[in-house]
Structure 1
Amino acid sequence: MDISLRIVIPSLLLFVLFIVDIGEGHNTCPELRCRAEGPPIRFPFRLKDRQPDQHCGYPGFDLYCSHNNDTVLELPTSVKAFVKNIYYESQLIVVTDSDNCFPRKILRLNLSSPPFQFKNYYLSNYSLFSCTPDKESPYLISCLSNFSTSVYAFFSDDDIDDLPILSCTKMYTVSSVPDVIWNLPSLELTWSEPAKCGHCERKGKKCRFQNNSTDLKTECFPNKGISRKIVTTAIGSILGSFLLVLVVYALYRVYRYDKAEKENQARIEKFLEDYKAFKPTRYSYNDVKRITNQFTEKLGQGAYGTVFKGKFSNEIHVAVKILNSSKGNGEEFINEVGTMGRIHHVNVVRMVGFCADGFRRALVYEFLPNDSLEKFISSVDSKLFLGWEKLQDIALGIAKGIEYLHQGCDQRILHFDIKPHNILLDQNFNPKISDFGLAKLCAKDQSAVSMTTARGTMGYIAPEVFSRNFGSVSYKSDVYSFGILLLEMVGGRKNVDVSTENTSQIYFPEWIYNLLEQKEDLRVYVEDNGDAKIAKKLAIVGLWCIQWHPMDRPSMKVVVQMLEGEGDKLTMPPNPFASTGTTKINVSMPTRRLNQELEVILESE
């Protein structure tokens, strides 16, 4: 807070209190409260720890504030009760016990003498008995009972032979108490003296001792200060002006904050831009521990390592992937650093730096707060469904990211592991491709790459990665994985039984193709026709991408154009599940596509 406000606010509050004091007629015994929502305390009551002057209260009407700012009344003899309300016009005070159990203090509670009496209750004498818990009586005292013993209050003048007390022990007898005291949490007490104060309050006046009175006589007195209306108007004007000043100040602070925030964003962007021109920063393992605060916040864990949240400052957060030293020969680390150090695209995760400290290896990325796409398309929780327009935006962003990998770099980058788990979402749910551990580099004019082993995740791997029968491995392999991802985005909302029994009879992409070919509804959860068109477009593009032979699949540039265009203009692709020219493929299950003799494609790096 600025120093000017530190001066203005206290001064304004003092002025308001001054106006209120004038409105109270310069009363030397002003109305007080223990807390803002507590009962008002004025004559005949006195808050003795704040009003030491005895003439501010009638004898026996002393109150005080507890350490929790509760209003406390001490009843005869030494029974402390919390004050809930004081009704001055009817001369009534409502009190509660500190532990909601007045019966526990009944022996010490003596209201036979002034100033307080029970409200117009019917008073009776009671005998208290401790019994086994099986006795039934309307006078069970809950707060004195427990699981092994029940305490009952019976009328003392009842014939003892009529009472069910064979298994009871008499505790004690109390006199002249109301029946409500046994189980109600609060009591209503009245006072008869000073009687005149209630009359004063009903007339809209206040009560006080008569001047120079020696026999406790009281009198009414009017409010001689400024009228309440004037006081209210003055306070309203002051507070209105104060609020106006606050609004202007708040707007100024927002402007200052916005300006500072833009400068911070520019500084952050410049920080990230530095890594566009230079290689990612190399950190020591001690740096990594400091960035992650000793690996305090774990974000997730995979086959190759564990991801922790870290930060360089309050503005810059990162995700730090600690690679398992026992996994692989460091190829994934080399791929990640060698590939991502040259990538800069809005739909590809940025690598900020890396650590290669002996056997300890780590990768430092920008932090994306909304987890992966898999969370939002595989969850059965409808609240996590992003909506079809957002899914279309996400699909287009992924496609642009893959197109950049294929065409936007000096060398073509083949990802080989496109799947929902590797698509991360930023604070605005913009997609970013991550995890380049399986990536390969090749020249842009290179039509095929060699492979010694299959790369990727089952279900997303293109057929040619397994067998030369389907063609050569190329950038079209990523197109196939993207097509499966698109169909999975549609299938995340599918209405089909995928039980163990059914999975042997249905393959979801083929089911999608058959529905579209027969011009039937996709049976996905849609809000309107616009949603249905989006779902259909994503499905058709996905089916084009998963054509069996790589040459039949579109490039990612064409895929982007298809996603950006009108879905009604898209034509249905050939059936990718029909028999190939040389081999009959059983497509009843995804795994059966692979049940043939595979010709290994040799790799020469």
Structure 2
Amino acid sequence: MTNSFKDKLGQGGYGGVYKGKLQDGCFVAVKVLKESKGNGEEFLNEVASISRTSHVNIVTLKGFCFEGSKRALIYEFLPNGSLEKFIYKGNISNANHQLGLETLYKIAVGIARGLEYLHRGCNTRILHFDIKPHNILLDENFSPKISDFGLAKICPREKSIISMVGTRGTIGYIAPEVFSRNFGGVSHKSDVYSYGMMVFEMVGGRKNINVSVDCTSEIYFPHWIYNRLELDEELGLHGFINKDDEETARKMIIVSLWCIQTDPSNRPSMSKVLDMLEGNLESLEIPPKPFLSSPPRTPVDSSTTIVSL
């Protein structure tokens, strides 16, 4: 299928991804997992959760291989790869490929629709727990699809708060309550937080925590942009040259600020997020300041982590 793994698409902590071709000529992405620790929970999670889904903004699982220690997942092939490649300014590899704000807005809406489906549209609620630009794949038209369900958790739809041992997710996107239950219960609102942090990076064209700047007020992007909104200043974002761009950016930022409220009960559901994104800017209120303080100036590990508490 992969022609002896000749065409490698990417590499992650889980293993490598290779381009393949089915007998009917359909291209696929084959994710070959490293030898699993324990009982292979991530592999089972991914198959169990994604096989329950069918949505235009969720990547399609075509099949899987489970033979002894050999485990692989076969997905539809998405030619534009991950969103991560297209949003960070100063990334040499995407110098000619940075997406316009209108496209980023459509991507944000598509991801929100996919998450709303996972939270409300399935027979069982699926919490993703690893929403970040790397796990959003783009088709030939830059329509987004949520991928990588290795950390997902399936729970009954009527159950709002779930029990969970340890922390799962990626540093920089993990909701406070997933780190410490003192902030509240873990629920679908934890995905909402990760979504908000991701949309901030889409609008800002940078990681939320920038350790390379000299001015401490600019290190933590949500903090910096909130102060500008509060003072009704221009957002000062590079690359937005017209009034429509500025309004779209302002809308995405206000929605993101609601999504990253420290108290999960103050965050909107993904249904409400869609309403806000597709509604009028004038109807949006600026939320309370959603963070306790700027994080310390330490490099951020962008890898997926599972930490026992």
TM-score norm. by structure 2 comes to 0.90
The reply to whether residue 316 of structure 1 matches residue 26 of structure 2 is yes
Cα root mean square deviation, aligned = 2.2
- Paired residue for 1:397? 110
Q: Which whole-Å deviations, capped at 9, do the CAs of 1:550-605 have from their partners, x for residues lacking one?
A: 0000000000111111223211111113xxxxxxx4335487xxxxxxxx999xxx
Moved beyond 3 Å, runs of 4+: 326-329, 500-506, 588-591
- Paired residue for 1:570? 284
Corresponding residue SS for 2:102: helix
1: CA distance, partners of 2:39 / 2:99: 39
Corresponding residue SS for 2:32: strand
- Could you tell me which of 354, 360, 365 is aligned with 2:70? 360
Contact 2:218/2:224 (<8 A) preserved? no
What is the CA distance between 1:486 and its match in structure 2?
Answer: 0.7
The reply to whether residue 292 of structure 1 matches residue 292 of structure 2 is no
What is the CA distance between 1:429 and its match in structure 2?
Answer: 0.3
Task: Read off the aligned partner of 1:317 and give its amino acid letter.
Answer: F
What is the CA distance between 1:548 and its match in structure 2?
Answer: 0.4
Contact 1:540/1:573 (<8 A) preserved? yes
Question: Once the two structures are aligned, what percentage of the paired residues are identical?
Answer: 60
The reply to whether residue 555 of structure 1 matches residue 265 of structure 2 is no
1: CA distance, partners of 2:219 / 2:27: 44
Q: Taking structure 1 as reference, are residues 383 and 356 closer, same or farther at Cα in structure 2, changes over 3 Å only?
A: same
What is the CA distance between 1:400 and its match in structure 2?
Answer: 0.2
What is the CA distance between 1:501 and its match in structure 2?
Answer: 4.2
- Could you tell me which of 415, 418, 422 is aligned with 2:128? 415
- Paired residue for 1:587? 294
2: CA distance, partners of 1:465 / 1:300: 28
Q: Taking structure 1 as reference, are residues 365 and 456 closer, same or farther at Cα in structure 2, changes over 3 Å only?
A: same
What is the CA distance between 1:414 and its match in structure 2?
Answer: 0.2
What is the CA distance between 1:504 and its match in structure 2?
Answer: 8.2
1: CA distance, partners of 2:267 / 2:283: 18
Higher relative contact order (CA 8 A, sep 6+): 2
- Paired residue for 2:225? 512
Task: Read off the aligned partner of 1:518 and give its amino acid letter.
Answer: L
Task: Read off the aligned partner of 1:347 and give its amino acid letter.
Answer: N
The reply to whether residue 533 of structure 1 matches residue 247 of structure 2 is yes
2: CA distance, partners of 1:308 / 1:329: 24
Unaligned 5+ segments in structure 2 are 299-306
- Paired residue for 2:155? 442
- Could you tell me which of 30, 40, 60 is aligned with 1:350? 60
What is the CA distance between 1:506 and its match in structure 2?
Answer: 3.3
Q: Which whole-Å deviations, capped at 9, do the CAs of 1:246-293 have from their partners, x for residues lacking one?
A: xxxxxxxxxxxxxxxxxxxxxxxxxxxxxxxxxxxxxxxxxxxxx111
2: CA distance, partners of 1:402 / 1:590: 31
Contact 1:388/1:531 (<8 A) preserved? yes
Number of equivalent positions: 297
2: CA distance, partners of 1:500 / 1:491: 14
- Paired residue for 1:170? none
Q: Taking structure 1 as reference, are residues 438 and 588 closer, same or farther at Cα in structure 2, changes over 3 Å only?
A: closer
Contact 2:81/2:138 (<8 A) preserved? yes
2: CA distance, partners of 1:349 / 1:551: 29
- Could you tell me which of 41, 47, 51 is aligned with 1:331? 41
- Paired residue for 1:462? 175
Task: Read off the aligned partner of 1:509 and give its amino acid letter.
Answer: P
Task: Read off the aligned partner of 1:294 and give its amino acid letter.
Answer: S
What is the CA distance between 1:445 and its match in structure 2?
Answer: 1.0
What is the CA distance between 1:503 and its match in structure 2?
Answer: 5.2
Q: Taking structure 1 as reference, are residues 314 and 523 closer, same or farther at Cα in structure 2, changes over 3 Å only?
A: farther
Corresponding residue SS for 2:73: strand
Task: Read off the aligned partner of 1:467 and give its amino acid letter.
Answer: S
1: CA distance, partners of 2:127 / 2:210: 35
What is the CA distance between 1:515 and its match in structure 2?
Answer: 0.6
Query: Within 5 Å, which residues of 2 pair with 1:418-437?
Result: 418-437=131-150
Corresponding residue SS for 2:9: strand
Task: Read off the aligned partner of 2:158 and give its amino acid letter.
Answer: D
- Paired residue for 1:189? none
Contact 1:462/1:481 (<8 A) preserved? yes
Corresponding residue SS for 1:530: helix
Q: Taking structure 1 as reference, are residues 520 and 340 closer, same or farther at Cα in structure 2, changes over 3 Å only?
A: same
TM-score norm. by structure 1 comes to 0.47
Corresponding residue SS for 1:477: helix
Contact 2:101/2:203 (<8 A) preserved? no
What is the CA distance between 1:452 and its match in structure 2?
Answer: 1.1
Q: Which whole-Å deviations, capped at 9, do the CAs of 1:95-131 have from their partners, x for residues lacking one?
A: xxxxxxxxxxxxxxxxxxxxxxxxxxxxxxxxxxxxx
Contact 2:210/2:219 (<8 A) preserved? no
Corresponding residue SS for 1:455: strand
Contact 2:211/2:297 (<8 A) preserved? no
1: CA distance, partners of 2:268 / 2:42: 29
Contact 2:59/2:75 (<8 A) preserved? yes
Corresponding residue SS for 1:322: strand
- Paired residue for 2:194? 481
- Paired residue for 2:88? 378
2: CA distance, partners of 1:354 / 1:424: 19
Task: Read off the aligned partner of 1:587 and give its amino acid letter.
Answer: S
Task: Read off the aligned partner of 2:161 and give its amino acid letter.
Answer: A
What is the CA distance between 1:447 and its match in structure 2?
Answer: 1.6
Q: Taking structure 1 as reference, are residues 340 and 519 closer, same or farther at Cα in structure 2, changes over 3 Å only?
A: same
- Paired residue for 1:545? 259
What is the CA distance between 1:468 and its match in structure 2?
Answer: 1.6
1: CA distance, partners of 2:165 / 2:210: 38
2: CA distance, partners of 1:446 / 1:530: 40
Task: Read off the aligned partner of 2:231 and give its amino acid letter.
Answer: Q
Unaligned 5+ segments in structure 1 are 1-290, 578-584, 592-599
What is the CA distance between 1:500 and its match in structure 2?
Answer: 5.6
